[in-house]
Amino acid sequence: MKYSYNILIFIIFIFIIGIIIFNSLTKPLGFQNLNTPWSHDLIKRFNIYQTTMNKNINQFNLEQLQRQATPEEAEEYLRTGFWSWPDDLKNLFIDNVWSNPIIKIDPHYALSYSMRTYNQNAMRELLAWNTKEGHFLLYGGDLGVSDGIPKNMHNTIKCSTDSINNSVMQKKVYTGMNLWNGYMNSTITDVKPEDIPKEMHGFSFVKSSCNPCVALNSPGDFSCPFKLNVKGDDSISEPWKQLWNL
């Protein structure tokens, strides 16, 4: 019974993380565009597989999926029912399952389930967004509270969620109470890449200054590696090492 419960929790966990990744921003997150469109025949056969063998258990967005998976990967999925993952990704996934403090489940069962659901590009980014670097890009960093401002009104630095201008780092600072409507006034200013380390304690670039928010573009641009020093640990999470080719 306990093992079955853990399986259920794992499936819910994977589903929720997937929903967060695909829908948390107004534009699709940065899956790499492989520029290799599938043939009409392959798309037709994939849709047939969805409604027969797969019974529509996993609803794939074919437009997004073609950005993530090559035709060869799709053909293998149709033959085997599994997406092809390289060994380094399998090992990284298993390590994440082992280290999860909440979900305790057989890592090889978790691996088998996930390989039926996520192609390798999707899984690499799923793992990446669930790290300190991913959280910073998605939700921003805490800059503390200004003098005279309520303790729960924290200033932030984060990538803009404006669908037209989502590749810009912005700083939001609360400036005081609006006496007319009771809301807090705030100012939002763009932050130049070279100024991010000055604004965000613990942030540093691996190479030269660049715009980290381009990782949120669609397709994703993984050309701006950075470090975050969290509790004295400035190491780069393994998924981002892979995405940044470090």
Tell me: the pLDDT tens digits for 102-142?
556 677 788 888 898 889 988 888 889 889 999 999 999 99
Q: Which pair of structure tokens corresponds to residue 229? A: 């020093």
Mean pLDDT of 2-15: 49
Q: What are phi and psi of 122, to 5 degrees?
A: -65, -45
Task: Please indicate, yes or no, whether residues 99 and 33 belong to a single structural domain of this protein.
Answer: yes
Residue where a domain terminates, one of 130, 152, 184? 130
Task: Please indicate, yes or no, whether residues 124 and 12 belong to a single structural domain of this protein.
Answer: yes
Higher pLDDT among residues 183 and 201, named by residue: 201
Specify burial of residue 71 (Cβ count, 10 A radius: 0-12, 13-18, 19+). middle
Task: Please indicate, yes or no, whether residues 114 and 39 belong to a single structural domain of this protein.
Answer: yes
Task: Please indicate, yes or no, whether residues 117 and 153 belong to a single structural domain of this protein.
Answer: no
Number of domains in the chain: 2
pLDDT at 15: 47
Share of the chain above pLDDT 90, in %: 40
Task: Please indicate, yes or no, whether residues 122 and 192 belong to a single structural domain of this protein.
Answer: no
Q: Does this model's pTM top 0.85?
A: no
pLDDT at 71: 95
Task: Please indicate, yes or no, whether residues 8 and 42 belong to a single structural domain of this protein.
Answer: yes
- Cβ distance 67 to 119 under 8 Å? no
Task: Please indicate, yes or no, whether residues 69 and 139 belong to a single structural domain of this protein.
Answer: no
Judged by average pLDDT, the poorest of 46-60, 112-126, 165-179 is 46-60
Q: What are phi and psi of 231, to 5 degrees?
A: 55, 40
Mean pLDDT of 55-80: 84
Judged by average pLDDT, the poorest of 13-17, 75-79, 101-105, 159-163 is 13-17
Task: Please indicate, yes or no, whether residues 144 and 230 belong to a single structural domain of this protein.
Answer: yes
| Cα gap 66→61, rounded to integer Å | 9
Q: Which pair of structure tokens corresponds to residue 85? A: 């993952």
Task: Please indicate, yes or no, whether residues 32 and 147 belong to a single structural domain of this protein.
Answer: no
Residue located via tokens 């419960």: 5
Residue where a domain terminates, one of 108, 130, 152? 130
Residue where a domain terminates, one of 130, 163, 185? 130
| Cα gap 33→69, rounded to integer Å | 9
| 83 membership: H or E segment, kind and range | none
Task: Please indicate, yes or no, whether residues 124 and 62 belong to a single structural domain of this protein.
Answer: yes
Which residue segment(s) compose the domain that 181 sits in?
134-243
pLDDT at 102: 55
